[in-house]
Amino acid sequence: MANGVLFGRPGKKGGTMIRLKTPFSELDIETLKAGDFVLITGIIYGARDLVHNKFMELIKRGEELPIMLKGQVIYYTGVSPAPPGKVVGAAGPTSSYRMDKYALKLLEMGVKGFIGKGPRAEFVKKALIKHKAIYMSAIGGAAALLSKTIKRARIVAYKEFGPEALMEFYVEDFPAFVINDIYGNDLYIEGQRRYMIFR
């Protein structure tokens, strides 16, 4: 049975609001369509360029990673220092294209979701289909709002990377839009098509 709790029935074009719990199952992924709005609860991992590069070094040497990747969601973010009384500071998404070169290996190792902003390379979109995973976009410019959904945060590894350390977040109703699904749909491309129709 899927972890997700579905509200309504997803249409061919997506656009449904869906609550999901991590880690994601393949059944969760099969349910999702580009354009769906998701609210994620559970553990997600914050990682940017430095962490991804470190992962690749460890994989190349045949060493274990500090986290198990199967079913997990990676959020491309680096958090600012937590103000008094807060779990974290701003935690907005960073541009995803910089992580494209790392995505294939992480998908092979079981990652089921990425969260960032901006489009992905064509080879990443094809790999999402092959490995049954999704790419989601968080709302850029809403870093303070997104941080409110983070209820617990801790550094898992690479403290020396400062704000780019590998982070574990426990989130409640973290909002994101599905951009690329396992059916080859791309919300960014579809959005452009609709704009051209209604111009």
Q: What are phi and psi of 152, to 5 degrees?
A: -145, 145
Residues 180-191 have pLDDT tens digits of 999 999 999 875
| Burial grade of 50 (CB within 10 A; 0-12, 13-18, 19 or more) | middle
Q: Where does 42-170+180-198 sit in CATH, by number?
A: 3.20.130.10
The separation between CA 115 and the C-alpha centre of its own chain, rounded to angstroms, equals 2
| Burial grade of 38 (CB within 10 A; 0-12, 13-18, 19 or more) | buried
In Å, how far are 48, 53, 63, 107 from 59, measured between CA atoms? 17, 10, 6, 13
Query: 3-class DSSP state for residue 51?
Result: helix
**Bridge partners, residue 44, by sequence:** 169
Task: Please report the sign of the dihedral spanned by the C-alpha atoms of residue 13, residue 95, residue 72, residue 145.
Answer: negative
Q: What is the pLDDT of residue 142?
A: 65
Contact 106, 94 (CB under 8 A): no
Q: Mean pLDDT throughout 2-29?
A: 70
Residues 147-164 have pLDDT tens digits of 889 999 999 999 999 989
| Burial grade of 139 (CB within 10 A; 0-12, 13-18, 19 or more) | middle
pTM score of the predicted model: 0.88
Q: Domain ranges in the chain?
A: 42-170+180-198
Provide the token pair at 14.
Answer: 């997506």
Q: What is the pLDDT of residue 140?
A: 64
Provide the token pair at 45.
Answer: 């991992």
Contact 151, 87 (CB under 8 A): yes
Residues 52-96 have pLDDT tens digits of 999 999 999 999 999 999 999 999 998 888 888 888 878 889 999
